[in-house]
Structure 1
Amino acid sequence: MTDSRLSTFKYVNYLWDKEHAEKLVGDEVGLLLYRSNLLGADLRLTNYGGGNTSCKTTETDPLTGSNTEVMWIKGSGGDIGSLKKNGLAALYLDKLHNLKNVYGGIEKEDEMVGLFNHCIFDLDSKAPSIDTPLHAFLPFKHIDHLHPDAAIAIAAAKDGERITKELFDGEIGWVEWQRPGFDLGLKLEDCLNENPDIKGIMLGSHGLFTWGDTAYDCYVNTLNVVEKCAEYIEEKVSKSKVFGGARLMSLDETDRKNQAAQIAPVLRGFCSSERHMVGHFTDDQRVLDFVNSNHLERLAAMGTSCPDHFLRTKISPLVLELEPHVDLNDTAELVSKLEPAFVAYRKMYAEYYESCKHANSPSMRDPNPVIILYPGVGLFAFAKDKQTARVAAEFYTNAINVMRGAEAISEYTSLSRQEAFNIEYWLLEEAKLQRMPKAKPLSGKIALITGSAGGIGKAISKKFLEEGAVVIINDMDEGRLDETVRQFDKLYGKDRFTSTVLNVTKDEDIRNAFKQAGIYFGGVDIVVNCAGLSISKPIEEHTDEDWDLLYDVLVKGQFKVTKEALKVLRKQDLGGDIVNIGSKNALVSGPNNAGYGSAKAAQLHLSRLNAAELGKDRIRVNVVNPDAVIIDSKIWEGAWAEGRATAYGIKPEELPAFYAKRTLLNETILPEDIANACFVFVGGLLSKSTGNILNVDGGVAMAFVR
């Protein structure tokens, strides 16, 4: 296990920057964080949120002034790829060892977790994780505990212990599967005491422990062990039929995406029977190799082995019994085909819960599948938010890698159903779930706001994101859309939104926008028709082109987007919200406004007609009527502002004050005001209201609905 293999790494990434590391010399915690971030950057080494890293340092005890040994370790719930110092727990090492004196045996080990807090050295520490004793009881300065696919493939193989011993010539120890906790830490210590020259320990069905005297030695040791595991597996894979060979061929990429977009809303509807879920789709080649294979049903039914994989992906996935090329356009027929599979899955999950539960087990959780496999098409994951769904898909992809390797070298084994249940319904995990922040009002909701790179549309998108939704932002102005994407990426991150070019007068753009919503998030719940433009001219100056443009964008655009949205909303069968951005001009007559005002009136009545028609689908249709939203609004650029100023006999720059003064509240209307009004309709408090109009105009008496 020396540096001699550095130039030959093929299955892991060697990322260590000697120059950067030298700047951290003397800062062991800094080197721990550096090493952790490098390891977390390679998903072949560990998943998001998975694994744990630590180091031990000598610090001055603030209570005695004497030197004391402190262990720094990733705290509960963190991710080593993005780990910072505030994500570490720092604990007195001697106090952790003293816990052995009060340990009451394996039946009491969960009680030990509460005692970790009595060992904290740094009062700003993150909560210590369940893995704390696993690191504390090993004497090495730097320790990595990771879940590399290649290592778990050996750990989950039927004869993994023999393979480990032979492959590493006794340099890697073996500890049989045991749930993480205090007792497992003692087992690791025993393994080392019995084999003092080992360079690491393989945990059956779980993962890998490696170590070193320095951060660099630990890093290289970890890479060398994983590289050797992967090299061994790939040699075996090259001589075997992966997953028993292919049973069928995948659709081509375009057809896979089309099928995914068609079926995702139906799957989401079933998976959201207890709460709204957000989806993720992947047709990664590793997934396709698995879902198209002869051994799919046998291996999928076995579930995963590594507890980190299992916690994210549930007892087993749901495999769809659908041909990849089947026509999915008939929603009723598709639902009738899929419903029995979901009923059977929920029944299986309930039986699993009842047969494995303990007297103090938490109540049964959502019985719907997290992972859904569609042969020939790919993998769908559904969870409370996009990030959780994406990570679940990544974890299951890692589980596929594990099964692939284990089957090539031996025979894959998974956790027993009872062990799986004991992990899933572990009281410590339940306590962690109970500490999670309360869900925001729009959590699990998916929103498409047309024209969302503009002033009002962008404000609505931001409001919905802040209230927990994910959004599909769009605009016909590609430059403005690109700038909004950059801004949103910094503010919210890529799991919170996706983007597409959308001109609401183009059928293909509209179809593509909802296809994007289906593939990226699983469907849509909220549609806000916000895209617009304004033309202000005396009637004698209005052209046919002006008239057609206003009606094509405002009226026909609203009609087209709503019509396409309805297909997705009905597939989900979860109800939904359509909010149309109207105008005070829909209700109030004024000069130089024949085209725009009449188009807004048509939008308003079209909304009422839609509300009357779609109530049976639990789809609410409501209208927000703004007036004079000048700030950051594209429609107030150029000719429109000049036209309105001319109509009122004032200068364009006087418009904001003019509009404010004519209102009952003497207020300027901002894009955020319109966003708040939209949220009022979709936030849950008005779930039994439809066909309404909400004026946001500062109070214009002529626009009162009467």
Structure 2
Amino acid sequence: MSSLINVPTTRAASSPGAVTGSPTDEVLRRSHLVGGNLTLTRAGGGNFSAKGVVGDVPVLWMSSWGCDGAATTAEDFPALRLDDLLELRHAVPLDGPAMVERIAATALTADQRPPGIETLTHAFLPAAHVDHCHPDAVISLTCIPDGRERAAAEFGDEAIWFDYRQFDMSVAQELADRVAAQPGCRFVLLANHGIFTWADTSDQCYRNSLEAVARARRALGAAARGRSGDLGGSAVRPLVADQADDLLDELLPVLRGAMREDRRGIVLSTDTSPDAVRFVSSVRGPELTQAGPGCPDSLVTVGYRPLALTPTDLTAEGVRAAIGRYRSAYAAMFERHADAAARRHGPRRDLPRVVLLPGLGVVAGGADPAQAAICAEHFAQTRSVIEAADAAGGYRSLTERQGIADEYWPLMRLKPLLRTAPGRLAGSVVLVAGATEATGRVVADLHVAGANVALAGGGEPSRPDVVHLRARLSAPDAVVREAVRAFGGFDVLVDLTGVDDRLLHAAAAVFARQGTPGIFCTAGPTGGRVYDGEHVDVLVEEDPSMVAERIIVATTEPPQGSTEDAS
């Protein structure tokens, strides 16, 4: 019927380890099970809790805000005084920031990570174990026009349907009231969002989530009978492999240059899988992405909608023009729907973070490969939800007004700020060429500064955080193509070989397509090599230990055009 049925079921997760039976061990293991299961949630989605006692104090262990269930540690479960949380059960609702402050004040110790914003629902539900996650199947069921009726037929009194709202204190209180009034309830179906499940044992809580997915799939299957589920068939014929590769090599640097914000860097992740190509080449798929995201988490990563290119946009000029139209459309949407608080901040980001290329695939962006991968995974969820919902009767998402309200909701805006401060070269991509005694030092210094590094001719892979290119330095065009495919492009070429200018000329073509000058840095004796072409700023540094610092200085100064620095 749709890719929803065939979605991979697992992704990388921390080892759950042995189960000792303590509430914290149980919730940690369960978070790994849920977070590593793509049918239940995507990267960074959902939250998990367990109730117990520390000494004589009733405690809620709640997953921290923004943590990834597949990779949680014990530190990701701050202990909160449960009785203090329960005092809010019937209190006058607080606004979002006041609610977060009040929840933080219940911490058992002061040095804990901040808990998730759904903490009060976890506290108010009368069960030892509670999970909130974002299953594609459940979201798809709540997105179809008759989803409420089909959910009622499948779940009956075992589930509560809850229309989409921002998750504030009043939502937690209302959900607790409705669950209390419906004793047989085992699930909360959150429209366009996900589910809550709970139980007195950790194992049963996890099984309840799996059961909800199976039953949602069954309801979707019943709704889809007699429908083709092919998104209207193909509107564009996918390109053959060689043509697709050549076009991506041309367009990825253009996209990277046009998608970057000010001088901040960006890394691109490219999905050319058959499912992705089929979706972007279909009649209805790209159009339905403009109706809004499959899950609110996407508002932080993907944004309200991706940029859907047309076949005529697949040139450098067409890409840049399409991104200009996207920015204008976002500004208009902001003007239509932003409230006074959002206007005080101004537009959050008007550049696309996901781009659909008909016949080619999907490109997603982020400050580093991990964030680009999360952005890609969140859009893959939207794609999955759209396919299943379209096959089952139609796709309905958040309205533009809801999307802007959530994107500029103070609590949503705080979520990305919980990350650690980036390095000074965050978002930058550096192609390092050559295997010398200096290579390890240069690569390590660049990594500490936050750069993303592609290493060509560096021998056997020695660092997991570096992309080791397979192409040989004797084939400079292949080296550059592989670096482009890995990151979308690059900003700096560090040449430790000193023997072949062909690599620099190939890199200069990438810099030109990105639309901003790149940096060529030679390290060690140069033999008088000089490059006087366009699109490149030249640095000469004989001390390898200073290469990263020189690049930092060069990338934080206003671009000066092509220069030679022989100091």
TM-score norm. by structure 2 comes to 0.91
Partner Cα distance (1:686, 1:411) in 2 = 49
Q: Confirm or deny that 1:54 pairs with 2:23.
A: no
Q: Confirm or deny that 1:40 pairs with 2:29.
A: no
> Residue 687 of structure 1: CA displacement?
5.3
Q: Confirm or deny that 1:690 pairs with 2:541.
A: no
> Residue 169 of structure 1: CA displacement?
3.4
211-220 or 92-101, which deviates more: 92-101
Q: Which amino acid aligns with 2:566?
A: I
Q: Deviations over 1:477-523 (max 9, x none)?
A: xxx323x2xxx21xx4xxxx32213432x23xx22222222222110
Hey, what does 1:258 align to over in structure 2? 246
> Residue 253 of structure 1: CA displacement?
4.0
Q: Which amino acid aligns with 1:512?
A: A
Q: Is the contact between residue 288 and residue 375 of structure 1 (CA under 8 Å) also seen in structure 2?
A: yes
Q: Confirm or deny that 1:267 pairs with 2:255.
A: yes
Q: Deviations over 1:519-571 (max 9, x none)?
A: 2211010001113xxxxxxxxxxxxxxxxxxxxxx43x2x1100100110000
Q: Is the contact between residue 262 and residue 518 of structure 1 (CA under 8 Å) also seen in structure 2?
A: no
Q: Which amino acid aligns with 2:489?
A: G
Partner Cα distance (1:95, 1:429) in 2 = 25
TM-score norm. by structure 1 comes to 0.74
Hey, what does 1:636 align to over in structure 2? none
Q: Deviations over 1:617-645 (max 9, x none)?
A: 3x21121225xxxxxxxxxxxxxxxxxxx
Alignment partner for residue 493 of structure 2, among 486, 509, 527?
A: 527
Q: Confirm or deny that 1:247 pairs with 2:235.
A: yes
Q: 1:677 to 1:27 in 2, by over 3 A?
A: closer
Q: Is the contact between residue 320 and residue 374 of structure 1 (CA under 8 Å) also seen in structure 2?
A: yes
Q: Which amino acid aligns with 2:372?
A: A
* SS of the residue 2:297 aligns to: helix
Q: 1:466 to 1:234 in 2, by over 3 A?
A: farther
Hey, what does 2:368 align to over in structure 1? 385
> Residue 433 of structure 1: CA displacement?
4.3
> Residue 438 of structure 1: CA displacement?
4.2
Alignment partner for residue 449 of structure 1, among 405, 429, 432?
A: 432
Alignment partner for residue 146 of structure 2, among 135, 138, 159?
A: 159
* SS of the residue 1:481 aligns to: coil
Partner Cα distance (2:308, 2:563) in 1 = 39
Hey, what does 1:463 align to over in structure 2? 445
Q: Is the contact between residue 459 and residue 675 of structure 1 (CA under 8 Å) also seen in structure 2?
A: no
Partner Cα distance (1:87, 1:683) in 2 = 35
Q: Deviations over 1:644-674 (max 9, x none)?
A: xxxxxxxxxxxxxxxxxxxxxxxxxxx5x25
* SS of the residue 2:564 aligns to: coil
Hey, what does 2:212 align to over in structure 1? 225
Hey, what does 1:138 align to over in structure 2? 125
Q: 1:512 to 1:231 in 2, by over 3 A?
A: farther
> Residue 456 of structure 1: CA displacement?
1.1
> Residue 177 of structure 1: CA displacement?
1.0
* SS of the residue 1:219 aligns to: helix
Q: Is the contact between residue 158 and residue 410 of structure 1 (CA under 8 Å) also seen in structure 2?
A: yes
Q: Which amino acid aligns with 1:690?
A: T
Q: Which amino acid aligns with 1:578?
A: F
Q: Which amino acid aligns with 1:401?
A: S
Number of matched residues? 555
Hey, what does 1:575 align to over in structure 2? 517
Q: 1:101 to 1:224 in 2, by over 3 A?
A: closer
> How much identity, in percent, do the aligned residues show?
25
Instruction: Give unpaired runs (5+ residues) of structure 2.
Output: none
Matches within 5 A, 1:344-355: 344-355=325-336
Alignment partner for residue 407 of structure 1, among 363, 376, 390?
A: 390
* SS of the residue 2:149 aligns to: helix
> Residue 235 of structure 1: CA displacement?
6.4
Partner Cα distance (1:373, 1:421) in 2 = 22
Alignment partner for residue 114 of structure 2, among 98, 102, 127?
A: 127
Q: 1:285 to 1:182 in 2, by over 3 A?
A: farther
Q: Which amino acid aligns with 2:537?
A: R
Q: Which amino acid aligns with 2:506?
A: E
Q: 1:348 to 1:174 in 2, by over 3 A?
A: same
* Highest RCO, 1 vs 2 (Cα 8 Å, sep ≥ 6): 2
Alignment partner for residue 87 of structure 2, among 75, 89, 98?
A: 98
Q: Confirm or deny that 1:481 pairs with 2:450.
A: no
Partner Cα distance (2:66, 2:549) in 1 = 36
Q: Which amino acid aligns with 1:301?
A: Q
Partner Cα distance (1:320, 1:457) in 2 = 40
* SS of the residue 1:243 aligns to: coil
Q: 1:102 to 1:199 in 2, by over 3 A?
A: closer
Structure of higher CA gyration radius: 1
Q: Which amino acid aligns with 1:620?
A: D
Q: 1:371 to 1:427 in 2, by over 3 A?
A: same
Q: 1:686 to 1:310 in 2, by over 3 A?
A: closer
Hey, what does 2:175 align to over in structure 1? 188
Q: Which amino acid aligns with 2:329?
A: M
Greater per-residue helix proportion: 1
Hey, what does 2:355 align to over in structure 1? 372
> Residue 474 of structure 1: CA displacement?
2.0
Partner Cα distance (2:410, 2:10) in 1 = 38
Partner Cα distance (2:223, 2:242) in 1 = 33
Hey, what does 2:324 align to over in structure 1? 343
> Residue 193 of structure 1: CA displacement?
1.8
**What RMSD, in angstroms, separates the aligned Cα atoms of the two structures?**
2.6
Q: Is the contact between residue 456 and residue 675 of structure 1 (CA under 8 Å) also seen in structure 2?
A: no
* SS of the residue 2:41 aligns to: coil
Partner Cα distance (1:307, 1:686) in 2 = 37
Q: 1:525 to 1:13 in 2, by over 3 A?
A: closer
Partner Cα distance (1:406, 1:253) in 2 = 30
